[in-house]
Amino acid sequence: MDCLFCKIIAGDIPCKKVYEDDNMLAFHDIAPEAPVHVLVIPKCHIGSMDEVNEANSGVVAKIFEKIPEIAKMAGVKNGYRLISNCGPDAGQSVMHLHFHIIGGTELPLHVFPDQE
């Protein structure tokens, strides 16, 4: 399968690893949008949140259990935002489920910058 994140999992494309176990890999985003910007991905290929189902949600639960620890490992001290872009309107650019952990600074509150 021609999937960028599956290639990172396979070790064919290098990454700056934060955490890894049998279920997931966490690594620094190549184009960070904040002082902390880590991606957490399942090792099995799930295309997006739209493809989470009864058969594969166990690995998503494992990821969620680990995210607080991964955030700390990445240097988060004062909170973080967890984002999963799903589909075209959200701007999903890699079709392998991933969770952005974003933090290390105070983040803008709104999706649209001109919102009060």
Tokens of 40: 């957490």
Residues 85-114 close enough to bind Zn ion by CB under 5 A:
96
Largest CA distance in the chain: 44
86 touches ligand 5GP by CB under 6 A: no
- 50-69 binders of ligand 5GP (CB under 6 A): none
Q: Which is nearer to Zn ion, 45 or 62 (CB)?
A: 45
- Check binding of 92 to ligand 5GP (CB under 6 A): yes
Which range touches ligand 5GP (CB under 6 A), out of 18-26, 50-58, 68-76, 89-97?
Answer: 89-97
Q: Which of 45, 98, 100, 110 is catalytic?
A: 98
DSSP state of 39: E
98 is catalytic: yes
Q: Buried b / exposed e across 11-32, counting CB within 10 Å, b at 16+?
A: eeeebeebbeeebbbbbebeee
Nearer to Zn ion, 5 or 99 (CB): 5
List the strands of the sheet with 36-42, edge to edge: 17-20, 24-28, 36-42, 99-103, 80-83
Residues contacting ligand 5GP: total by CB under 6 A: 14
Q: Does 28 bind Zn ion (CB under 5 A)?
A: no
How many Å apart are CA 102 and CA 36, to the nearest integer? 5
Q: Does 9 bind ligand 5GP (CB under 6 A)?
A: no
